Amino acid sequence: MIGVGNVTEKKSAPALSKIPGSRLVAVGNRTPERAKAYAEQHGITSWHRDPVDVIRNPNVEIIYIATPPGSHMEYALAAIREGKPVYIEKPMALTWEECQLINEAAAKQGVSVYVAYYRRALEYFRKVKELIESGQLGKLLFVNVKQHFPARPQDHNRQEPPWHVIPEISGGGYFHDVGCHALDILFYFFGDPLEVAGFAANKGGLYEPEDTLGVIMRLPGNLLVTGSWNFITPDSFRRDQVEVVGETGKVKFSIFSFAPITLVKEDSHESFDIVQPEHIQMPLIRTIVEELKGTGRCPSTGETAAVTSRAMDQILDNFSLAAGNR
């Protein structure tokens, strides 16, 4: 594992050793003291001062890249050159072009690329997919996404902003960290987008990248998706909701809060409250282990993740052009 940040503490790293046939054997970090402390705290057999040495470790068979997106391509390409598969935190890279470079290198070397869009393997979203595909909604009419969140205290620090809003590290603003999950799960449900358009703005002035976005997409079956994202919304107006509306019913669910899924029809209203696993990435990691052992398939790959990165790039294209002309 390269990187020892918060995402690894509970969401992912423990699952790497709890799944049969898998074990976390080495960690590395650009700050060696952090790698050493992490290894000692979690009982990991070896740690490395240089993250690249994790890749070269002969006991390591697959690399989990748990760093911010700005270094994903560097480490992914290094691992691929060693002939080792990679599991990359999302978003897969800074841009779609970087995703393509990773996928092309992996195809040439014959190794697998997996990306941590773990919602594709969660029971919560499998239930949503089941309801959509059951025919209970009738002909699908439209999808609407609302993700409106308040600014975080650290967003007000102009001298030392969080890495999530430093584009050369994160790829953009919080949309890259939050919106990508919503886009990816929609593409999993309905297929790759046929057309994507969006407008973005910075309304709060807390940091340089976008904090407000409006999106429209056309998915297979001429299904239109509208979405709005805002990361400076007052807490009392917080929203995290997706509605899939059909001629005979609609499904409502959330992306982050895991609010109960609701199925609404003219004469009925059902609710499905699904508890999340202790380690939320564990179901997806299990599919990776199964695929590497030849007993299953992982639903989140470099190819599927690149589709999401391309959509984000298209959505933010107008903001990038406007920023360049200021």
Confidence grade of residue 324 (pLDDT, cut at 50, 70, 90) = very low
Q: Is 104 helix (H, G, I), strand (E, B) or coil?
A: helix
Question: Average pLDDT of 70-78?
Answer: 98
Average pLDDT value for residue range 104-129: 98
Please give the C-alpha separations between residue 307 and each of 79, 104, 105, 302, in angstroms, as whole numbers: 22, 14, 17, 9
Band of the pLDDT at 319, cuts 50, 70, 90? confident
What is the residue-averaged pLDDT of the chain? 96
Rounded Cα–Cα distance for residues 82 and 324 (Å): 38
Kindly list the structural domains of the chain, giving each domain's residue range(s) and its CATH number in brackets, ordered by start. Answer: 6-118 (3.40.50.720), 123-277+302-324 (3.30.360.10)
> Across residues 24-28, what is the average pLDDT?
97
- Confidence at residue 323, expressed as pLDDT on a 0 to 100 scale: 58
HSE-up of 137 (CA within 13 Å, CB side)?
21
